[in-house]
Amino acid sequence: MARKPRLYHDIDGVLFGEYTMFPGARPVYQLRPGTRDWFRWALKRFELVWLTTWRPDDLKGLLSTRTGLYLEHVWEQSRYLEFQTDLNLPVQTKVEALKRDVQNYDGLWLWIDDFPEGIPMEFPKTSLVAVQPFGAMALMELTTRLPARVKRLAEGRS
């Protein structure tokens, strides 16, 4: 059986959408609808790797029974990629962590993020999937976009 592609998964702007209820109001992040279905779909198709500024304990807590999500299995079936979020320190950043993780990996991979600082130039654009941080349907849209992208990546390898 072929290995599942890796899916590097951000949180804010992907799992949480940015919403503004009133004109001029400050946007707030809210969990997008369909989160449970999203993970059911994604775990069947991808090796899930968290690439987020959320700390592991906070992410594990989000997915827990305490929050009402009952998604502990998502944490158990995924991996967290450590990196340093303070860009003033001479340590690994999000981009450097991903570079290191894919360096000796010969499988297909995708990175879903809202890329608030811009899409990193160091990566092939075919592996980067920008997610619109606004609106309710972003996770549903990914269920169409990601298989098409995986197919293009696979065709490019043959």
Mean pLDDT within 80-105? 79
CATH (domain of 128): 3.40.50.1000
Q: Residue 24: inside a domain, yes or no?
A: no
pLDDT in tens, 18-30: 888 788 888 888 9
Q: Residue 19: inside a domain, yes or no?
A: no
Partner residues linked to 48 by β-bridges: 7, 78
The boundaries of the domain holding residue 102 are: 6-14+29-157
List of residues 6+ apart from 94 with CB closer than 8 A: 51, 53, 83, 85
Task: Quote the tokens at residue 75.
Answer: 């944490």
Main-chain dihedrals φ then ψ at residue 14, nearest 5 degrees: -115, -70
Q: Is the pLDDT of residue 119 over 80?
A: no
Q: Residue 20: inside a domain, yes or no?
A: no
pLDDT value at position 85?
A: 65
Where is pLDDT greater, at 20 or 132? Answer: 132
3-state secondary structure of 30: strand
pLDDT value at position 87?
A: 58
CA angle, 56 then 59 then 62, to 5°: 150
Domain count, the chain: 1
Gyration radius of the chain's alpha carbons:
16
Mean pLDDT within 80-91? 70
Q: Residue 1: inside a domain, yes or no?
A: no
